[in-house]
Amino acid sequence: MKAKYSIIVPMYNEEEVIAHTCERLLQVMDGQGEPYELIFINDGSRDRSADIIREIGSADPRVKLIDFSRNFGHQLAITAGMDYASGDAIIIIDADLQDPPEVMLAMIAKWKEGYDVVYGKRLQRKGETWFKKTTASLFYRLLRSMTNVDIPVDTGDFRLIDRKVNDVLRTLKEKNRFVRGLVSWVGFRQTSVEYVREERFAGETKYPLRKMIHFAADGITSFSYKPLRMAAYIGFGLSALSFVYLVVVVIQRLFFVVQMPGWASIIAINLFFNGIILVLLGVIGEYIGRIYDESKGRPLYIVREAQGFEEPKTEKEA
């Protein structure tokens, strides 16, 4: 029977929670009575996550597995799920039960009212560190102030997407993907449901600081040129100040007999300007690196094995 709903679950080393998550998802989705599929994407886990899903899937054809050849990252795992999903509505949910499965029913209800995208808005985040909450909150606001795309704050990838929105998203092939931004960018009728983000059911976060910074840089560079423009503004500002100071120095030298102060001030100015130049070069580098990624034309992800799908898809079709 064709699935009406496709639930996409990216997982990376989630062996401690994944069986339980699968059970909860089956339970909640059984409650609503319409056909569905659960698509688990194993993003190169080094533990038994894939084996657990493979086993459940061999007894229950609604549980499907996409096994990546290595770790490609959360956003690409979601992308693969979106490529393989066959439902009329697609729901993305984390594997760690931080997004309560019951909220999916509220999303489905909104979808039935005629909305094309229903995203989950976090009212509160439980069990996350002060550091994570503060940086996340700052990031969403910074991103918003930097782009013209209306990306909602305090919203993750937990959301429902209509088939037609998914079809459009699949035509966007950019490499350094920031999925929640792309969903905002395509438009359509969007709304939110509010929820309280729970603690992780078990295991630890798979988003260390390094990945968080990379993710934030992807979000900003994908949707804004402002950092580049700021580089130019800073350049103009500092040039103007330098020019004023230059005039002052020349006048002092010509018309007043002053002791030219030496070494310390020159070194200080030098270090200051060199620092700024390097930072601004780094900003430009972030953009150039992404242009380089696009130019290579490599596939977004590589699937080692797909279980439970009728005909295996290639990325070309996807």
Q: Which residues contact ligand UDP by CB under 6 A?
A: 10-12, 14, 43, 71, 73-74, 77, 94-96, 98, 205-207
Q: Is 116 in the site for Mg ion (CB under 5 A)?
A: no
Q: Smallest distance, Å, CB 13 to Mg ion?
A: 12
- Which residue lies nearer to Mg ion by CB, 96 or 154? 96
For position 99 contacting Mg ion by CB under 5 A, the verdict is: no
- Tell me the closest approach of the beta carbon of residue 52 to Mg ion, in angstroms: 18
3-class state of residue 120 by DSSP: strand
- Report the nearest approach of ligand UDP to the CB of residue 145 (Å): 22
Which of ligand UDP, Mg ion, none sits in contact with 77, Cβ below 5 to 8 A by type? ligand UDP
157 binds, among Mg ion, ligand UDP, none (CB under 5 to 8 A by kind): none
Question: Listing from the earlier edge strand, what are the strands of the sheet with 89-92?
Answer: 190-197, 117-125, 155-162, 89-92, 5-11, 36-42, 63-68, 303-307
Distance from C-alpha of 77 to C-alpha of 165, rounded to nearest angstrom:
18
Q: Which residues pair with 10 in a beta bridge?
A: 41
Kindly tell me which residue out of 98, 147, 166, 222 binds Mg ion, with binding defined by CB under 5 A: 98
Cβ atoms 84, 11 nearer than 8 A = no
Q: 58-89 in b/e burial notation, b at 16+ Cβ within 10 A?
A: eeeebbbbbbbeebbbbbbbbbbbbbbbbbbb
Smallest gap from residue 200 Cβ to Mg ion (A): 5
Which of ligand UDP, Mg ion, none does 197 bind, CB closer than 5 to 8 A by kind?
none
Q: Closer to ligand UDP at the Cβ: 13 or 184?
A: 13
Structural tokens at position 241: 């100040």
Name the residue nearer to Mg ion (CB basis): 94 or 154. 94
Residue 136 CB, nearest distance to ligand UDP (Å)?
Answer: 8
What, of Mg ion, ligand UDP, none, does residue 67 touch, CB below 5 to 8 Å by kind? none
The residue from 83, 96, 116, 157 that contacts Mg ion (CB under 5 A) is: 96
- Closer to Mg ion by Cβ: residue 51 or 198: 198
In DSSP notation, 126-150 reads -S--HHHHHHHHHHHHHHHHH-SS-
Distance of alpha carbon 29 from alpha carbon 7, whole angstroms: 9
In whole angstroms, how close is the CB of 250 to ligand UDP at the nearest point?
Answer: 56
31: alpha, beta or left, given left = phi > 0 and alpha = psi -120 to 50? Answer: alpha
Assess contact for 91 and 9: CB atoms under 8 A. Answer: no
Residues in contact with Mg ion by the rule CB under 5 A: 94, 96, 98
